[in-house]
């Protein structure tokens, strides 16, 4: 049974008043709020178990290490990776993509090689590849989107060739909520001999993800967008590949032995976890998975799909409102503009009504350019949002429209 | 009027509003009355790129005084700009450089001067002061 | 007034029992425990203010951003940097060193160049330079230590030459607690035209640090070792230098504009903060500085110096105990071995007595090699430790010695 | 005796101790009685490098049974090794492969099998099972 009130009660921040109004938090694409059980585990870590991991022999250190490694296993199950060594903790999605851009790049990218990314990517899945290509004299090729924001697969297939070493695509585009056809993208890339990185930052919190079934080579996501702390994320990579590519950062914990003459790197996953890992963050991520599991991914997906459909219906009724990103395959986000009204002004007025939405280019300037705009208003949903909140949003938009035109 | 007096005048005007809606409506109105900005001056060097709204700013120095003109694509930002220009236009470089801008806070629009790069206003204020410093150096020393 | 009981009360974890004994936490070199005010701010962030920073126009986002940027200013004051843009938030010390190794390396390190590091460095200040040197065909030169573990300055001066581009040295060596003569090291390096990175991971929590007075080019440290969260750290760099070197990671927030044709990077400090920053971690770091300031660095230093002197006296009385790292200039750590007894065994027995110490090579294998050993037992202190705890440690060591010989 | 019986025997022996000191003293004693390990066999390939203590492990197959020898530089680690060898020496590959190692937990020494890489014991157990698998494949198929 999906009991929304019970779920909402678990999020202390939702009880907040903002500008005298009940908070309506619809900026979940930027970051998701945290349930009590996640806040509690952080508290508990710092009040009872905190100690640096891996290197200690004492009780607290063992305790922290056990919880940390336990969390790794929880996350392995969450995305159904084959073995725990395939789960690398990073600072977040951006960090994970940069890691691959560097390490995969050092090993496999040479002058003239090509990397394919989609036109609708987040900057974090664009800039690291640009930097890599600049360093290696390689090239970025862009998978174009159609006027609705959907990727054009026929064009994608034409772009694939022997020089294509990597395809990096979002599972869900953050600025539109469109779910990309990654199954087909992955299969095609593999046929052509390219590896695939999937940016799951906007997907894992909304959809069931099975990396073995997807057969992607890398899958990355952030804790803070899936009910966990900021400053933590995950890189999943196929074991053989992670073993082949060199480490990214050097430091404590990622080595087997160090001397000035010769340093040997540790085995997976530690090879990619230099320095003191954000173990409290990682543990909070395991707890966030527990939270999601306690609701059930299917229930969560059903609820969020309902919300999206409802929001699409409601907002379509508003005169002069254009939705950007139209597709049957969307999840949990709706991007729009009001005719002749600046998104920033709408955001400001909504804020005054206690409604938090995101405005701007959503770190996806090429997508905005594609639509011929500079930004949108984006409402994005999490498991705790309600239809009533969408009603409030819709009334708020009408009010803003009235004030601003 | 001194920049302080103008600021107090604005504070007085806003004091009659007791809710945010009236304030913002007034701000929007003020934005709509901002003297038109010469489209030709929408050059990259006059552009202050916020993450969200864009601001264009230009200034001239005549007879010891600075004449600011500015624009924004967002109307609320434009409203604040209009208020800033009211405080600072036709003032001397020293006036501008030495102003303690207190009115925005006092009229309850502080959220418009957030440390985010969102609307470009913080940079705009910095740039207005920079113009004053530059004019002073160029014409008054 | 320095009231130890009042201070201890602020650390919930210190009330823990471990193996039925009162916890005696002497593993502060690995990570320091957190005072209530830091735990509270984390709580408060996730229960009241949490929202992604910089990009939002709504109330919560502004609130988070204000707190985040406020924390940057607090930290600027803490180390007396000239301007806030010189404070870059990273994942930790290791991340910060890797950032510099990459970005400074891309810009300034060429084939045949030399990087000087000390023999007594932590792996995190060795491996990134080895990786850089491998990539750029540059060379590492090692500043040797004498038999007590102190760096030999006359040898250092001989190593400096025109090819030396960077000197990377710890402020305080983590395995011995020895304070390196960084003032002189910095001055000499500059005379020779080299830049200097100081690894302050073991210093900022114990000593007053003034980066302008030191005149170092880079100074790095970790939050978790100075009473703040894990997963956060700071890179201080001189503005001109940070402006000159290229960004390290690409992604959201570090850009001014992105297009497939041309991407412009943001100004400092954001240029080096790609992706969602660990803003809660950063805010906890500001609060940790408030905690330290509430005690007063001078008081803290006095207390910790007393502890160290007391521990040195006490441990010297134990037959067959050798202290590694002897110097007049030490802070807050004491490394030792018992004759013919393995450090691991000592650590295990101490753990049973509720005493948490670190054993092993302390991520400083070259230092251990220098002393001709494979590891030590290290007791390291924080502001909340007491002389009584050192008595317990000393009794514990005697007991372990008895059991193990 | 089966590996299960030996484990139960060890549990019995430890059950007389009611505090950790006695347990660890017994463990240390046990470590000291471990059959000497041939120094010549302290080769890199026999070394299991923990972060903290090092473990050397060697094994021979004779007449259907495995003979393990091992050593460690830390005496507590050596004590656990001695117990493991007592359970597994002179057992068949199948015996070793199929053992559910429950005694370490039961005698309250679980902290010695922590997931840290500290003492090499977890790897050692893995390697002992790997020897069994290898011997079985080589000699029994
Ligand atoms: C001197 C020194 N440098 C670097 C580090 C690495 O710090 P972190 O693990 O927080 O990145 C440490 C701590 O382990 C240290 O003591
Ligand atoms: C699709 C996508 N990719 C990457 C990112 C970057 O994630 P983070 O900022 O957590 O590194 C985001 C979130 O902003 C995103 O939505």
Instruction: For C282-303, write each residue's pLDDT tens digit.
Output: 999 999 999 999 999 999 999 9
| Residues C332 and C301: beta-carbon distance below 8 Å | no
User: Looking at residue A373, what is its pLDDT?
Assistant: 97
Q: How far is the centre of ligand 1, averaged over its atoms, from the C-alpha of C361 (Å)?
A: 13
CA atoms within 13 A on the CB side of C88: 34
Is any Cβ of chain B less than 8 angstroms from the Cβ of C65?
yes
pLDDT for C251 beyond 60: yes
Is any Cβ of chain C less than 8 angstroms from the Cβ of A366?
yes
Print the domain residue range for B13: 3-134
Residue B25 lies in a domain: yes
Which CATH number goes with the domain that contains B102?
A: 3.90.1010.10
pLDDT digits (tens, 9 = 90+) for C330-369: 999 999 999 999 999 999 999 999 999 999 999 999 999 9
Token pair, residue C276, equals 């969602």
User: Looking at residue B18, what is its pLDDT?
Assistant: 87
Lowest mean pLDDT among A84-93, B104-113, C12-21: B104-113
Q: Please list, in sequence order, all residues whose beta carbon lies within 8 angstroms of the beta carbon of residue D45, skipping any fewer than 6 positions away.
A: none
Residue D110 binned pLDDT confidence (cut-offs 50, 70, 90): confident
CA distances from A229 to A92, B102, B140 (A): 10, 37, 55
The total number of residues shown for chain A amounts to 405
C276 lines ligand 2 (CB under 6 A): yes
pLDDT for D51 beyond 90: no
- The protein residue whose alpha carbon is closest to atom 15 in ligand 1 is C201
| Residues B119 and B55: beta-carbon distance below 8 Å | yes
- Which residue in the set C62, C256, C257 is minimally distant from B116, CB to CB? C62
| Residues D49 and D92: beta-carbon distance below 8 Å | no
In D1-141, beta strands by DSSP E: 47-49, 54-62, 65-72
Residue B140 lies in a domain: no
A201 lines ligand 2 (CB under 6 A): yes
Compute the count of residue pairs across chains A and B with CB atoms less than 8 Å apart: 41
Sign of the CA dihedral with A400 first, then A403, A404, and B3 last: negative
Question: According to CATH, where is 3.90.1150.10 located in chain C?
Answer: 4-30+296-400
pLDDT for B117 beyond 60: no
User: Looking at residue D141, what is its pLDDT?
Assistant: 81
pLDDT digits (tens, 9 = 90+) for B56-79: 999 999 999 999 999 999 999 999
DSSP letters of B58-96? EEEEETTEEEEEEEESSHHHHHHHHHHHHHHTTB-HHHH
DSSP C172: B
What does the alpha-carbon distance between residue C90 and residue C104 come to, in Å, rounded to a whole number? 16
- Beta strands A164-170 and A139-143, pairing class: unpaired
The total number of residues shown for chain C amounts to 405
Q: How far is B110 from chain C (nearest CA, A)?
A: 10
Q: Please list, in sequence order, all residues whose beta carbon lies within 8 angstroms of the beta carbon of residue B5, skipping any fewer than 6 positions away.
A: none
Kindly provide the b/e burial profile for residues B26-49, where b requires at least 16 CB atoms within 10 angstroms of the residue's own CB: bbbebbeebeebeeeeeeeebebe
Q: Can you list the alpha helix ranges (DSSP code H) found in C118-171?
A: 127-136, 153-159
User: Looking at residue D115, what is its pLDDT?
Assistant: 65
pLDDT digits (tens, 9 = 90+) for A250-268: 999 899 899 999 999 999 9
Cross-chain residue pair D52–C403, CB shorter than 8 Å: no
Residue B92 lies in a domain: yes
User: Looking at residue A54, what is its pLDDT?
Assistant: 83
Residue B38 lies in a domain: yes
Cross-chain residue pair B119–A345, CB shorter than 8 Å: no
Residue D96 lies in a domain: yes
DSSP C202: T
Residue C51 binned pLDDT confidence (cut-offs 50, 70, 90): very high
3-state secondary structure (DSSP) of residue C358: strand
CA distances from D21 to D27, D28, D121 (A): 10, 10, 21
Token pair, residue A249, equals 């950062």
Cross-chain residue pair B114–C53, CB shorter than 8 Å: no
User: Looking at residue B116, what is its pLDDT?
Assistant: 64
User: Looking at residue D136, what is its pLDDT?
Assistant: 95
User: Looking at residue B113, what is its pLDDT?
Assistant: 79
**Mean pLDDT in residue range C376-404:** 98
Domain C4-30+296-400 has CATH 3.40.640.10: no
Percent of chain A with pLDDT over 70: 100
| Residues A255 and A264: beta-carbon distance below 8 Å | yes
Sign of the CA dihedral with C291 first, then C297, C302, and C308 last: positive
As a whole number of Å, the end-to-end CA separation of chain B is: 25
How many domains does the structure of chain B reveal?
1
What does the alpha-carbon distance between residue A95 and residue A308 come to, in Å, rounded to a whole number? 30
Question: According to CATH, where is 3.40.640.10 located in chain C?
Answer: 39-293
Q: Please list, in sequence order, all residues whose beta carbon lies within 8 angstroms of the beta carbon of residue D98, skipping any fewer than 6 positions away.
A: none
What does the alpha-carbon distance between residue B111 and residue A350 come to, in Å, rounded to a whole number? 13
Q: Which helix (H) or strand (E) holds B56?
A: strand B54-62
Report, as residue numbers or ranges, the catalytic residues of A.
363
- Beta strands C264-265 and C355-356, pairing class: unpaired
Q: How far is the centre of ligand 1, averaged over its atoms, from the C-alpha of A379 (Å)?
A: 41
Report, as residue numbers or ranges, the catalytic residues of C.
363
SS3 letters for chain A? CCCHHHHHHCCHHHHCEECCEECEECECCCCCCCCHHHHHHHHHHHHHHCCCCCCCCCHHHHHHHHHHHHHHHHHHHHHCCCCHHHEEEECCHHHHHHHHHHHHHHHHCCCCCEEEEECCCCHHHCHHHHHHHHHHCCEEEEECECCCCCECHHHHHHHCCCCEEEEEEECECCCCCEECCHHHHHHHHHHCCCEEEEECCCCCCCCCCCHHHHCCCEEEEECCCCCCCCCCEEEEECHHHHHHCCCCCCCCCCEEECCCCCCEECCCCHHHCCCCCCHHHHHHHHHHHHHHHHHCHHHHHHHHHHHHHHHHHHHHCCCCEEEECCCCCECCEEEEEECCCCHHHHHHHHHHCCEECEEECCCCHHHHHHHCCCCEEEEECCCCCCHHHHHHHHHHHHHHHHHHC
Residue D140 lies in a domain: no
- State the ipTM, two decimals: 0.96
pLDDT for C391 beyond 70: yes
Nearest to D34 by CA among D71, D87, D73: D71
CA distances from A285 to A8, A234, A307, B9, C337 (A): 19, 9, 25, 53, 39
User: Looking at residue A70, what is its pLDDT?
Assistant: 96
Q: Which CATH class is domain C39-293?
A: alpha beta
Q: Which residue has the higher pLDDT, B44 or A154?
A: A154
Kindly provide the b/e burial profile for residues A365-379, where b requires at least 16 CB atoms within 10 angstroms of the residue's own CB: bbbbebbeebbbbbb
Which residues of D are less than 8 Å from C19 in CB distance? 20
What does the alpha-carbon distance between residue A152 and residue A169 come to, in Å, rounded to a whole number? 13
């Amino acid at each position: 049974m999906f009991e929304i009130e019970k779920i909402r009660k678990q999020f202390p921040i939702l009880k907040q008043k903002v500008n005298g109004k009940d908070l309506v938090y619809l900026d979940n694409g930027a970051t998701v709020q945290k349930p009590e059980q996640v806040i509690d585990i952080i508290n508990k870590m710092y009040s009872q178990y905190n100690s640096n991991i891996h290197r200690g022999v004492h009780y607290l250190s063992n305790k922290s290490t056990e919880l940390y490694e336990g969390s790794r296993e929880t996350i392995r199950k969450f995305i159904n990776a084959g073995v725990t060594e395939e789960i690398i903790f990073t600072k977040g999605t951006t960090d994970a993509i940069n890691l691959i851009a560097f390490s995969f790049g050092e090993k496999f990218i040479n002058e003239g090689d090509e990397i394919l990314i989609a036109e609708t990517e987040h900057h974090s899945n664009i800039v690291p590849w640009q930097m890599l290509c600049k360093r290696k004299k390689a090239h970025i090729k862009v998978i174009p989107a159609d006027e609705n924001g959907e990727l054009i697969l026929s064009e994608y297939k034409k772009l694939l060739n022997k020089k294509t070493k990597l395809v990096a695509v979002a599972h869900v585009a953050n600025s539109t909520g469109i779910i990309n056809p990654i199954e087909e993208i992955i299969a095609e890339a593999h046929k052509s001999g390219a590896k695939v990185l999937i940016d799951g930052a906007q997907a894992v919190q909304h959809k069931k993800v099975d990396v073995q079934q997807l057969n992607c080579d890398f899958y990355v996501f952030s804790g803070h967008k899936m009910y966990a702390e900021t400053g933590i994320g995950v890189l999943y990579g196929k074991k053989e590949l992670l073993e082949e590519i060199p480490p990214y950062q050097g430091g404590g914990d990622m080595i087997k032995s160090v001397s000035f003459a010769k340093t040997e790197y540790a085995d997976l996953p530690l090879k990619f976890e230099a320095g003191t890992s954000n173990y409290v963050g990682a543990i909070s991520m395991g707890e966030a998975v527990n939270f999601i599991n306690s609701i059930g991914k299917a229930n969560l997906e059903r609820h969020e799909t309902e919300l999206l459909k409802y929001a699409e219906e409601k907002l379509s009724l508003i005169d002069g409102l254009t939705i950007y990103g139209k597709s049957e395959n969307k999840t949990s986000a709706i991007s729009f503009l009001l005719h002749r009204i600046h998104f920033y002004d709408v955001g400001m007025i909504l804020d005054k009504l206690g409604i938090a939405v995101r405005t701007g280019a959503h770190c996806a300037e090429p997508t905005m350019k594609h639509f011929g705009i500079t930004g949108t208003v984006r409402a994005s949903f999490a498991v705790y949002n309600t239809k009533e909140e969408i009603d409030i949003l819709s009334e708020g938009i009408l009010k803003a429209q009235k004030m601003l035109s | 009027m001194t920049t302080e007096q103008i600021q107090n005048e604005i504070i007085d005007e806003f004091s009659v509003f007791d809710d945010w809606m009236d304030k913002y409506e007034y701000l929007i109105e003020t934005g709509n009355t901002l003297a038109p900005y010469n489209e030709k001056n929408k050059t990259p060097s006059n552009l202050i790129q916020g993450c969200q709204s864009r601001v264009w700013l230009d200034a001239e120095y005549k007879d010891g005084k600075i004449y600011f003109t500015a624009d924004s694509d967002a109307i609320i930002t434009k409203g604040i700009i209009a208020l800033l220009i009211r405080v600072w236009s036709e003032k001397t470089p020293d006036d501008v450089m030495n102003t303690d801008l207190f009115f925005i806070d006092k009229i309850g629009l502080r959220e418009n001067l957030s440390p985010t790069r969102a609307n470009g206003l913080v940079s705009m204020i910095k740039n207005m002061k920079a113009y004053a410093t530059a004019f002073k150096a160029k014409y008054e020393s």
